[in-house]
Structure 1
Amino acid sequence: SQLVEDFQELRRTLETLNMFNANLGFFFLHLAQVLILEALAWVIVWHFGSGWLITIFISFLLTVAQAQGLFLQHDTGHLCIFKKPKWNRLMQKFVMSHLKGISAKWWNNRHFQHHVKPNIYSKDPDIDVGPFFVIGDLQPVKYGKNKIKFINYEKQHLYFHVSLAPFLIPVYFNLDSILAMYRRRDWEDIAWVSTFYIRHFITFGPFYGIFGTMVLIYLVKLLESLLVTYITQMSHIPMKMSTEENQDWFSSQVLTTCNVEQSFFNDWFTGHLNFQIEHHLFPTMPRHNYHKVAPLVKSLCAKHGLPYVNKPILKAFGDVIRALKKSGALWKEAYCMHPET
């Protein structure tokens, strides 16, 4: 089709303009940011002690470090930084497994499925949240007709704040990652992840003890989860969800993804995932180039009558809750319209 040809031409143009070449200094500054925040948290405890106020303060420092580390390992997982894949893989193991304590291989397996089939039920693990939540327009109706009521889905937009948002990373990500490593008997991965906990016991153990250090680790993961869940879901949950469809790459990515307005803060705060459309269209492109290609992508969308959705960040956060509330209402309507037989 003409759209496919235009998209291929756009990609060739971007390759000619070196939009797929990384600025190594940009990424090493982001790595330095993570390492400095981690070190600063330890220095503060070492100097001021481990009282409640200090612990709360360093928890926020470590939360920022963990979130920024997640964005950085995301870059390496997509092979965005180095020309040689093995260097990207090594850096990802260091950031994801050593600095964050999660299996890099587990993340890649899950994340690549999401990129291939975004917002496709049963294919995209990022929207595989049943039976705890129902999302989109199709799943809630199916659950309602079949009288599935694991929770009162009509109130799921309220449960979200005390379930999925805070516990996605400390519970699901961590447990599923650990189980995946042991099922595969992947001793290299296990060793990398173990260094995360060993490092924390060495640095924070003398101040908090083993139990207190574990509490600190999971407090930080909980805070990170609250932050990251909104950042990752604001671009997908409010968008179109469907069963398998035969669509071209460009349409399948644009229709299931939206952007958040650019600003220096938004770029940093979201790890440039505010340019989710560009990221999904060009997953191996370094994120510092997204803003340069965005006008070209927007123009191509306009030419072919496709929506290019770009929102203020607070509206994007609110749309996550509004989408959950809408899906809950669809479930309630279907549930009440189909009495049990």
Structure 2
Amino acid sequence: MGKGGKASENGSAFMPPKYVSMDDVREHNRKGDSWLMIEGKVYDTSRWGSKHPGGAKILGHYAGEDATDAWKAFHNDKDFVKKFMKPLYVGDVKDKEESDIQADFRALRKHVEENELLKTKPLFYVLHLGHIILLEIMAYCLISYMGGSTASFVLGAMILAVGQAQAGWSQHDYGHMSVFPSHKINHIFHHLVIGHLKAASSHWWNFRHFQHHAKPNVLKKDPDVDVAYLFLLGDYVPKSWAEKKKGFMPYQLQSNYWFL
């Protein structure tokens, strides 16, 4: 490399990094024209969304924004992921800022990682899965051998409800790739638990749930709070729906049927 030369993020030698401002990044905040910042570097994801393993929507949610914390949370093997990011590199942000809440969150994450609070014990999850399967077998045997009485049916339903609830939380951790070091093994267990024990799609869950963690409780971005046809949340949605006369539920009574 020549004197004073420096390899840029996109791999070209003898090229100093290009600098862009946060205002430049914010301007690229729409579908088909999407930039996002990760660790002070800007990437153009405008045409890459369809190739993203986590789906295009989650990238779109951070268009024109700092996606550093979400990126760190979703990717375990960061060095591997950065190989795919190099062709998308635009430049470094020259005026990046860190809000108070970002600083607090990053300090908390550093504390959690240094104290190995995210370190899992795979044996626990294997035993946990074993007890879920045992509950399923117990409920089946109860109804099969005790007949179709009301008591056996209710007790069997209660056991199945406990097993299904436990399976729901178990598949959650497999889906986050947070149990085993190997992504492949995590995927296998995730397919097994949510696909066979809960009869749901693992791909559907991943695309939906990752959006939830990327933008928790943000209307129109977090699908878990997209419940407008049942409940109206926040300050903006109830007013806008009332003005447009949308919806069909007796929303003035939603405090009474919320528990359902």
| TM-score tier after normalising by the smaller chain length | 0.5 to 0.7
Higher helix share: 1
Counterpart of 2:116 in structure 1: which amino acid?
A: N
Distance 1:137 1:93, change over 3 A: same
Partner Cα separation in structure 1 for residue 120 and residue 128 of structure 2: 13
Matches within 5 A, 1:224-303: none
Partner Cα separation in structure 1 for residue 120 and residue 241 of structure 2: 45
Task: Show the counterpart of 1:86.
Answer: 184
- Give the aligned length: 162
Per chain length, whose mean CA-contact separation is higher, i.e. which structure has more relative contact order (CA < 8 Å, sep 6+)? 1
Distance 1:47 1:131, change over 3 A: closer
C-alpha RMSD over aligned residues:
1.8
Partner Cα separation in structure 1 for residue 120 and residue 232 of structure 2: 39
Partner Cα separation in structure 1 for residue 242 and residue 106 of structure 2: 42
Structure 1: runs of 5+ lacking an equivalent: 166-341
Task: Show the counterpart of 1:125.
Answer: 223
Higher strand share: 2
Aligned-residue offset at 1:2:
6.5
Aligned-residue offset at 1:137:
2.0
Counterpart of 1:95 in structure 2: which amino acid?
A: V
Instruction: Give the one of 48, 52, 74 matched to 2:146.
Output: 48
Partner Cα separation in structure 2 for residue 41 and residue 149 of structure 1: 41
Task: Show the counterpart of 1:107.
Answer: 205
Report percent identity of matched pairs.
36
Task: Show the counterpart of 1:14.
Answer: 112
Task: Show the counterpart of 1:308.
Answer: none
Instruction: Give the one of 235, 238, 243 matched to 1:140.
Output: 238
Task: Show the counterpart of 1:241.
Answer: none
Partner Cα separation in structure 1 for residue 190 and residue 175 of structure 2: 6
SS in 2 for 1:101: coil
Q: Deviations over 1:232-275 (max 9, x none)?
A: xxxxxxxxxxxxxxxxxxxxxxxxxxxxxxxxxxxxxxxxxxxx
SS in 2 for 1:57: helix
Partner Cα separation in structure 1 for residue 250 and residue 146 of structure 2: 47
Instruction: Give the one of 43, 62, 87 matched to 2:160.
Output: 62
Counterpart of 1:29 in structure 2: which amino acid?
A: L
Structure 2: runs of 5+ lacking an equivalent: 1-97
SS in 2 for 1:68: helix
1:39 pairs with 2:130: no
Q: Deviations over 1:55-110 (max 9, x none)?
A: 11101100110011000000111111001111111101100010010001101111
Task: Show the counterpart of 1:277.
Answer: none
Partner Cα separation in structure 2 for residue 128 and residue 2 of structure 1: 28
Give the structure with higher Rg (CA).
Answer: 2
Partner Cα separation in structure 2 for residue 90 and residue 59 of structure 1: 27
**Displaced runs of 4+ in structure 1, greater than 4 A?**
none
Distance 1:7 1:99, change over 3 A: same
SS in 1 for 2:148: coil
Aligned-residue offset at 1:140:
0.8
Aligned-residue offset at 1:39:
0.9
Aligned-residue offset at 1:6:
4.5
Instruction: Give the one of 7, 17, 23 matched to 2:121.
Output: 23
Task: Show the counterpart of 1:153.
Answer: 251
